[in-house]
Amino acid sequence: MNKKLVPIIASLIVLILLLDKFYFLSVEERMEKQSLKEYEYIKNKNLEDTSIIKLGYLSIFIADFDTEKSEEILDRVIEIQKENGEISDNVNSKLSTGLCVFSLIYGYEKTGKEKYKEAALKGGDFLIAEIEEWKATNEIKITEISKNARHEGDPKSSLECYYWTSPNDLGIMALGLGALAPYNTKYSDYARELGDALYSMQLKNGGWYDGYTQIPVRRDQSSWYVVMAMLGMWQCYKNLGDERYLESLLEAENWFLNMWDGGSVYDILAYEENYNTSLSEGRVEISEDLRFDYKRYEETNERDYAASSEYTYYYGEHSFLLAESLLINLGIKVDEEKLKLTFDHILKNRDEDPSNWFLLSLWLVRN
């Protein structure tokens, strides 16, 4: 053999071995490795101006790597918490409190520190008060569009009325209250009420309307609203064990699979005027089911993730990644190839700062 070829061949062998090691990892193994990279980036990041919602997600993700850093974040969450239990920095208090309740009780389970449990239960009481006020303020209202839900236009309470309700609110509140279910039956009772409402509101195609349908544009079915409903169903299934919640999760995953297209993910413009406007402006092609790829037609699927971040957020792709990660966490087999393509799509297009849902997806796959 030509001696000059020896180092070249050796280099090729090393390269092949490295490529083999990278490309033949499962997507779950790649996500676990990505977790370490994200932690290395986050651990020294200045979080002084970080939003309360971002802090909630960060505390969950970091807890497995650095308990002290996670506690530092949770202590800031407690400082922000109001006397009535609300945890908010002028955003949707149901969403921020529900998420932070989940992160606080996880912090308690990791550290055993009672202050995190006390703050979580206090936040849970705030969510219960919000639910009771919601039901007392809004009457049961039946609309034609609600007949597409599992309850077929016959809701049991105003919580199940799309006219007043958004499934993302119910989902994130259920995420928090469901996490508290082992600590007191009142939390499990309200978590079940939210889980039942989400189950009842689920559409025949497996998705949910964006909600508050007195506003016509909110009759769309958006991937990020669907996955927030799934977060609540996931938590309710884990801690309450009702098989209907798992059924709902699998139907929602099927919605995502129908919206998936080679890595990118569609949403549905269910409101005809909204669709027709996009059609007249040349931003969407004619489609019988009103499927609409935001990125393809340069609509709004690329948007600022948060005021404190320069990250450009691909809602559909991150929503799909999170939806599949919820099922992986439950030990349910997912479509490996579709998940891999979406994961690669995100890594290729993302900026340095990781999104909340990307971090939560990595955490779900690890745990």
- Report how far residue 173's alpha carbon sits from residue 227's, in angstroms, rounded to the nearest whole number: 13
- For the chain, give every domain's residue range: 48-137, 139-367
Q: Domain 48-137 adopts which CATH fold?
A: Glutathione S-transferase Yfyf (Class Pi); Chain A, domain 2 (1.20.1050)
Three-state secondary structure of 117-158: HHHHHHHHHHHHHHHHHHHHHCCCCCCHHHHHECCCCCCCCH
Q: Of residues 91 and 129, which shows the higher confidence score?
A: 129
The pLDDT value recorded for residue 252 is 97
The pLDDT value recorded for residue 299 is 38
Task: Give DSSP secondary structure letters for 12-51.
Answer: HHHHHHHHHHHHTS-HHHHHHHHHHHHHHHHTT---TT--
pLDDT tens for residues 195-213?
999 999 999 989 998 887 7
The pLDDT value recorded for residue 85 is 97
Contact 268, 290 (CB under 8 A): yes
Contact 225, 211 (CB under 8 A): yes
The pLDDT value recorded for residue 273 is 64
The lowest-confidence range among 181-195, 283-297, 326-340, 352-366 is: 283-297
The pLDDT value recorded for residue 300 is 34
